[in-house]
């Protein structure tokens, strides 16, 4: 039995519906079945320990003045601003004092990579998951020229690119999701890369076709710019066209959202915003499809996995689909432009055979992506 230190910038036990939180939660519980795992993060929330092989320590976040100081420090050191935003001097101190007591150290996301001591030589792994620099590069290109965030995303994308290269040099193993992103990495780092899929808990197939189905759902954190942009674009350009033919079709948004975005979206015709929900089952009734219409995307979009776990037909942008290697054997509905997206949605509304086949493909894709299957690669490492 190994002693493993797992360091993450977000509490894996917070219950937050976020890809990195879900992933880290599943990883630490999987590892604790055979090894002792010590989890360290910001935010004090007690772990629901399943056995004595899992323990947790959480540190309080720093105040806003110190946070600004560390953000500026990161900038002047030519490092990503996010490192400063998520930095915790208490975690740094804990790691420096305790890291040599463990056989293996796993850092979850590049934000935690900053805690790796320069002289540390024991086994270490970075769960990078996605190349965030590519996401930020796409974002700044999509934003309007006069948007003040355009410059910030531009600078951060460059800083992230440099820091990702630093991580490729420093860590023994790097975990990534997308083959497309792995192929973009310099060949000298390829031996360090391990590709793995994002998983999902097995769910009951709940989708049922009916000509009366009238909901298009979108699940995701709308505090994340690509999700926010996708929802506003759909309500502006796509939903009005669909409503010309089917006035009863509504767009339902589920996930964390700011009050101001909720206010503006709910003012739009046939748009309902539910925020974060504990139980998705009631929202699946009368669904036509689940939407993943992001024009900015890197890595894996977990919303697709959620839709598929319930057997819901999916509609995905080409940008999202191309990063999703695990589902390419059984193709889901993807589009290249607005016209194709509308055509697919209307076909799912009208054509029973097409809808049921799409549902079947969705549920079939998910069978090999259950967490208990996905995480077996950790045993090999």
Q: For residue 381, is it within any domain?
A: no
pLDDT, one tens digit per residue, over 278-310 is 888 999 999 999 999 998 776 677 888 889 889
Q: For residue 207, is it within any domain?
A: no
Q: For residue 234, is it within any domain?
A: yes
Looking at the structure of the chain, the number of domains it has is 2
Q: What is the SS3 assignment for 32-101? A: CCCCEEEEEEECCCCCCCCCCCEEEEEECCCCHHHHHHHHHHHHHCCCCHHHHHCCCHHHHHHHHHHHHH
pLDDT, one tens digit per residue, over 297-353 is 766 778 888 898 899 999 999 888 877 765 555 578 889 999 999 999 999 999 999
Q: Are 22 and 107 within one domain? A: yes
pLDDT, one tens digit per residue, over 172-199 is 999 998 888 888 899 999 899 999 888 8
The residue out of 150, 167, 196 marking a domain boundary is 196
CB distance 316 to 292 below 8 Å: yes
Q: For residue 357, is it within any domain?
A: yes
Q: For residue 209, is it within any domain?
A: no
Q: Are 36 and 168 within one domain? A: yes
Q: Which residue has the tokens 């509304």?
A: 349
Q: Are 192 and 220 within one domain? A: no
Q: Are 169 and 231 within one domain? A: no
Q: How confident is the model at residue 261 (pLDDT cuts 50, 70, 90)?
A: very high
- pLDDT value for 313: 94
Q: Are 176 and 273 within one domain? A: no
Q: For residue 377, is it within any domain?
A: no
Residue partners of 10: CB distance under 8 A and separation at least 6: 16, 18, 20, 21, 24, 41, 42, 43
Query: Radius of gyration (Cα) for the chain, nearest Å?
Result: 21
Task: CATH number of the domain at 336, please.
Answer: 3.40.50.2000
Q: Are 113 and 261 within one domain? A: no
Mean pLDDT, the chain, rounded, equals 89
For residue 341, the enclosing domain spans: 215-367
Q: Are 277 and 317 within one domain? A: yes
pLDDT, one tens digit per residue, over 204-251 is 888 999 999 999 999 998 988 889 999 999 999 999 999 999 999 999
Q: Are 145 and 231 within one domain? A: no
Q: Are 219 and 360 within one domain? A: yes
Q: For residue 180, is it within any domain?
A: yes
Q: Are 266 and 155 within one domain? A: no
Residue partners of 191: CB distance under 8 A and separation at least 6: none
CA 301 to chain centre: 6
What pTM did the predictor assign?
Answer: 0.84
Q: For residue 225, is it within any domain?
A: yes
């Amino acid at each position: 039995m190994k002693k493993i230190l797992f360091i993450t910038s977000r509490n894996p036990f917070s219950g937050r519906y976020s890809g990195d939180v879900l992933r880290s939660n599943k990883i630490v519980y999987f590892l604790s079945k055979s090894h002792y795992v010590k989890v360290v993060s910001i935010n004090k929330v007690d772990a629901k320990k399943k056995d004595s092989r899992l323990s947790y320590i959480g540190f309080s976040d720093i105040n806003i003045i110190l946070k600004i100081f560390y953000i500026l420090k990161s900038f002047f050191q030519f490092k990503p601003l996010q490192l400063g935003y998520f930095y915790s001097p208490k975690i740094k101190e804990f790691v420096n004092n305790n890291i040599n007591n463990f056989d293996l150290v796993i850092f979850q996301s590049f934000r935690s990579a900053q805690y790796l001591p320069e002289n540390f030589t024991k086994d270490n792994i970075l769960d990078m998951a996605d190349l965030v620099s590519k996401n930020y590069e796409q974002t700044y290109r999509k934003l309007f020229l006069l948007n003040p965030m355009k410059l910030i995303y531009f600078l951060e994308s460059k800083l992230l690119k440099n820091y990702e290269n630093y991580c490729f040099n420093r860590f023994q193993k790097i975990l990534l999701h997308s083959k497309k992103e792995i192929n973009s990495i310099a060949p000298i780092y390829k031996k360090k890369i391990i590709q793995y899929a994002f998983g999902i808990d097995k769910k009951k197939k709940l989708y049922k076709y009916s000509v009366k189905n009238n909901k298009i759902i979108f699940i995701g954190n709308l505090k994340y710019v690509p999700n926010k942009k996708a929802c506003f674009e759909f309500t502006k350009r796509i939903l009005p066209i669909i409503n010309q033919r089917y006035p009863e079709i509504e767009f339902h948004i589920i996930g964390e959202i700011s009050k101001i975005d909720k206010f503006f979206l709910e003012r739009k015709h046939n748009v309902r915003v539910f925020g974060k929900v504990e139980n998705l089952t009631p929202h699946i009734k009368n669904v036509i499809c689940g939407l993943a219409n992001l024009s900015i995307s890197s890595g894996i979009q977990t919303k697709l996995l959620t839709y598929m776990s319930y057997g819901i037909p999916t509609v995905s942008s080409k940008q999202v689909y191309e990063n999703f290697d695990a589902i390419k054997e059984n193709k889901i509905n993807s589009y290249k432009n607005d016209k194709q997206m509308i055509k697919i949605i209307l076909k799912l509304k009208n054509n029973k055979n097409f809808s049921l086949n799409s549902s079947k493909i969705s549920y079939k894709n998910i069978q090999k992506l259950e967490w208990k299957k996905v995480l077996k690669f950790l045993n090999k490492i």
